[in-house]
């Protein structure tokens, strides 16, 4: 496939101005919405084949989120896309200033395997809402879903508007070497660095949604049953293969044992005494990731879990007891159903453990004491948080989603996704021909006086 020719055709289509009218963008979003609804069964089947997702999990975490993103954009697109007046300083009178969001042009979307439908189609919806053309490259590790995406988009959009490029790492490398107007990447930090380095050769702006070790802090004042249920749900969702999954729990020492009992009870409530047989529990994406997770458990004390099935690549939810911080399970992003539990005595001690790793994409705080919650929220840096819950911050189109530091750069979802794929063009319009001559030479003391006065120097 000639990727350069695809980009050239999209650039020509964009230059025609076809994507600029809001009516065109809304029509495109409606076509996308309709195609997803008509192909829902096909998408669910693909997700089950790739990751063992149940129909409900596929609906909740993949299809419904994309449809909500599309509908939210359609409802708000008129307001998002119009120019906004801003204050005009006296030095610019008589005139008017405004900010106009304009599309970048042709954008590249590189999506991961863990939520292969949602994390491809949600940024695509934002890109189309902003008026761009797009090339999407789904992950080859979720091949059935990639094929479903290719068929869906090929049915409703011409390739000069939206194109799908299937392939492995070499395809992504070839695409990132091209002079796209914007790149949106979701995946690991290691690959994100490669994308950023490639984009730098063309000075292409990049949004990176990465990950990190997302901590849960459980205060002694927390409702332990509720905290355990919500943390365990966040961990078993997609078998823990979620960029904002709880990675480890720091729990106050005084409630540690009670919290662990509640976690065991929650796991049995959700998946039964034999979680590997549960139809609601998915699987690890491939053999390499499955073996990686087993290696992370080496040298760990297991509180419960660690049942395995190498034929189906399933690993039961597994709690690890207070692992040393130098073990790989506390150094690497787990991205699986393993949950280390570490006790702490003071918030400073807990925050110190968190700060040993790069800034996480998300953090989760459980407490009923308001002072404890306030202290937790300001104890370290993170991309976003949930208070007394997990993961759900990801599902709101009203909230920006994105990381800080090594967990990413840029934001997505709702208006923030629209702005990610838009350039904010500043526009100043001058009225009439009259103007003070302060800015024009020859300069003198009188002019300097009025310039300094107007600038408050």
Contacts of 165 (CB under 8 A, 6+ apart): 1, 3, 6, 135, 136, 137, 171, 175
Closest CA to 79 of 402, 419, 425: 419
First and final CA of the chain: distance in angstroms? 60
* Catalytic one of 33, 160, 209, 333: 209
Distance CA 14, CA 20 (A): 8
DSSP notation for 200-231: HTTT--EEEE-----EEEE-TTS-HHHHHHHH
Q: Tell how far CA 109 is from the center of its chain.
A: 12
Look up residue 136 and give its two tokens.
């999407």
Distance CA 417, CA 73 (A): 9
In degrees, rounded to 5, the angle at the alpha carbon of residue 436 between the alpha carbons of residues 434 and 441 is 120
Distance CA 294, CA 334 (A): 11
* Block residue for tokens 């998946």: 271
User: Can you list the positions of beta strands (E) in 5-87?
Assistant: 84-86
In degrees, rounded to 5, the angle at the alpha carbon of residue 401 between the alpha carbons of residues 3 and 52 is 70
Does an H or E element contain 406, and which? none
* Catalytic one of 120, 214, 239, 243: 243
Alpha-carbon distance values, 64 to 5, 58, 59, 138, 146 (Å): 34, 8, 6, 19, 18
Distance CA 374, CA 365 (A): 10
168 is catalytic: no
Cβ atoms of 417 and 394 closer than 8 Å = no
Residue-wise over 227-266: b if at least 16 C-beta within 10 A, else e?
bbbbbbbbbbbbbbbbbbbbbbbbbbeebbeebbebbbeb
165 is catalytic: no
Contacts of 222 (CB under 8 A, 6+ apart): 255, 366, 367, 368, 388
Distance CA 394, CA 397 (A): 8
Distance CA 197, CA 189 (A): 12
Catalytic positions, please?
A: 209, 243
């Amino acid at each position: 496939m000639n990727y350069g020719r695809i980009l050239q055709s999209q650039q020509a289509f964009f230059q025609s101005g076809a994507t600029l009218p809001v009516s065109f963008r809304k029509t495109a979003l409606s076509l996308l919405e309709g195609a997803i609804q008509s192909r829902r069964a096909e998408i669910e089947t693909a997700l089950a084949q790739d990751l063992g997702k149940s129909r409900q999990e596929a609906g909740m975490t993949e299809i419904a989120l994309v449809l909500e993103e599309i509908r939210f954009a359609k409802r708000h697109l008129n307001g998002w896309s119009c120019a906004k007046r801003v204050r005009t300083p006296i030095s610019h009178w008589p005139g008017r200033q405004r900010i106009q969001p304009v599309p970048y042009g042709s954008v590249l979307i590189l999506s991961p395997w863990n939520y292969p439908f949602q994390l491809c189609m949600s940024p695509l919806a934002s890109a189309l809402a902003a008026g761009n053309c797009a090339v999407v490259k789904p992950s080859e590790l979720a091949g059935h879903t990639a094929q479903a995406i290719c068929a869906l988009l090929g049915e409703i959009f011409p390739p000069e508007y939206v194109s799908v490029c299937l392939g492995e790492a070499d395809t992504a490398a070839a695409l990132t070497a091209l002079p796209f107007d914007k790149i949106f990447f979701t995946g690991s930090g290691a690959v994100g660095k490669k994308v950023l380095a490639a984009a730098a050769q063309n000075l292409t702006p990049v949004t990176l949604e990465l990950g990190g070790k997302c901590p849960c802090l459980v205060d002694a004042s927390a409702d332990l049953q509720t905290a355990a249920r919500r943390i365990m749900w966040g961990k078993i969702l997609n078998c823990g293969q979620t960029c904002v999954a709880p990675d480890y729990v720091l729990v106050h020492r005084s409630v540690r044992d009670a919290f662990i009992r509640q976690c065991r009870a929650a796991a049995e409530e959700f998946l039964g005494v034999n979680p590997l047989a549960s139809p609601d529990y998915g699987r690890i994406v491939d053999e390499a990731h499955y073996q990686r997770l087993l290696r992370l458990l080496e040298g760990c004390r297991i509180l419960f879990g660690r049942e395995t099935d190498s034929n189906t690549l399933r690993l039961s939810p597994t709690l690890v007891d207070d692992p040393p911080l130098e073990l790989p399970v506390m150094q690497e992003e787990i991205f699986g159903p393993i949950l280390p539990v570490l006790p702490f005595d003071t918030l400073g001690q807990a925050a110190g453990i968190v700060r040993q790793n790069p800034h996480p994409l998300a953090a989760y705080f459980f407490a009923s004491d308001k002072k404890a919650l306030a202290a937790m929220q300001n104890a370290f840096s993170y991309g976003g948080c949930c208070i007394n819950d997990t993961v759900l911050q990801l599902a709101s189109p009203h909230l920006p989603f994105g990381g800080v530091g090594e967990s990413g750069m840029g934001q997505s979802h709702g208006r923030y996704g629209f702005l990610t794929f838009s350039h904010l063009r500043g526009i100043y319009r001058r009225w009439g021909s009259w103007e003070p001559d302060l800015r024009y030479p020859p300069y003198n003391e009188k002019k300097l006086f009025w310039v300094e006065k107007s600038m408050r120097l």
